[in-house]
Structure 1
Amino acid sequence: MCTLTCIAISLIIAATIYYLRFVRTKPKLDIPSRDRVVVVSGAAGGFGTAICRDLLSRFNARVIGLDISKEVMEKVYSEELKQYGSERLSFIECNICKLEECEKASERIAQILKEWKTDRVFALVNNAGVSNSPKCTERMGIVEYPEDELLDVFGSNLFGHVRMTRLLYPLMKDGQDGHNGAIINVASVAGLLALGFFGFYTSSKFAMVGFTDSLRREMKSLGKKGLRVTCIEPGFSKTAILNLKPQADTEFGRIGVIREKKSAAILRNAQPPKVIGDAICEQIFSSNNLPHLIIDYWYMRLVYLFLYYTGLDL
């Protein structure tokens, strides 16, 4: 009886939060977007591509894309380069896991602003991320991974974003038009609900949520001079993150294989990246942007909220 009562209360709480977050609070889209400069990391694919294309076509903004390969970005956006040219779209090769590359990227961004005859980055979208280290060939349990897996995953999913936020902040503050700039950090539902057998991915996303909350509260303490901050928490989406490496033949790897089979239906029902891209852009140009935004099908949102408040496993 007690269990049923707890489940009923959790469902009521989840439904209430769902209404307040996703029905009542719709983005106002009340901030002018034309020619605003937005920096997007992880621009070569997945959410990054969707964000950049939406910024260019729907919002008439200017985009500076960051990724580990400039050549790949130029290939991905070949049509956009023809249509919008270098006055609206620019690329910087940058591995955000490396401090020196982040510093060079911030210097290059300052140069691009001068070339575009503007002095401000309006928004930074910290989007880059990996599920495993590029060197990883097999997935296993957290206690089985080598040290470089920890450093590579946290470097891409957290440390690089902290660096870019710190380095670009001087180029983002003190807007003269009355509209505060924005920092959008892309975490994951895995940063709210721990997923087993995803190694350090879910741990780094929890850290990203915490970093964003702290940053938001600090910016809010500045009053009208503070930047707006939103943490985006997408559910399962059709990006390269789902191109999972095979599980290793280890103690935890063998269990991971079984767990993946149980969650196969959820993976097949993953949402398209464009949904996330559209929502992120709307948060950038809305004065009522949310502290947190879970993005997924409505029924999956309710599932996440229910699991969050009951502590049950996915």
Structure 2
Amino acid sequence: MCPSPLIIFVALLFILTGIPGREDIQVWISIPFCFIHVTSILGNSVILFIIKTDPILHEPMYIFLSMLAITDLDLGLSISSMPTTLAVFWFNTREISHDACFVQLFLLHSLTFTQSSVLLCMAFDRFVAIYNPLRYTSILTPARTAKMGLMSLLKGVILTFPLPILLKQHQYCKENILSHSYCLHQEVMKLACSDIRVNIIYGFFLTISSLGLDFLFILLSYVMILKTVLSIVSHKERLKALDTCISHVCVVLLYYMPAIFFSVIYRFGQSSSPLTQNVVGNVYSLILPLMNPIVYSVKTKSIRGRIIRMFIK
């Protein structure tokens, strides 16, 4: 007997659960989610506006910061958990087609890896500024800065491109329920009824080759920075050099610590509940876009001063 068109149509859909076991309070949970979402959009938009309108800030450090803000806006506005999550919470829109799900997870993962590369570029920027300040402008020229930004984007896109292709090869004959309010590679591949070893191996390679190596090079950059700072005779100059790195260090910790925890939970925390994985995923996608503009507004004097003047006017 041939399957009915309705069965075929349902088989081409994934069902998003929102927050498993908390369906009765999801409307109330959506209030802080929405507030954080809107605040992160406003914060990153202010950062972008200040950098764009102030020629003094057209330096590599602030260009990389604007790239970070753009990826935060893309993650928050177009493809991150929030639009889909709020649709699930408010309108009970739980169905998502396979193709739409694959596109969403591709964009989400590629921008996440792009952010990691941008943070590495910012670490290199701080290293050059402290290690060889006299040659800073000749090393980090506008053309070279643009190439570094473009390479960061291409790296994220190229490394992530195989993910939806690999997922599309599978048949999804098991249950089609995702224990999330948006699509992730780790979640979708579990629903396949065929061998997913290639997905597991490539996902692990992707995490190590992107997040792992970027984090390692950032650590090496700061080892060299500390070595250079300790060789400075003046205590005041040492503090001044370290102060230029505080914002970046805070954002690096905010980015990589949850990312490492998130990866460990998904790959090795088989006993962890779907609720735990869901909460960790939502916190990760919410907090980082919110904290980036806050950290740089508080810890970066030039950004902070311009924000104060803008609101006073």
Larger radius of gyration: 2
More helix by share: 2
Asked if these proteins are the same fold (TM beyond 0.5), I'd say no
Report the TM-score when normalising by structure 2.
0.28
TM-score (norm 1): 0.28
With a CA cutoff of 8 Å and minimum separation of 6, indicate the structure with the bigger relative contact order: 2
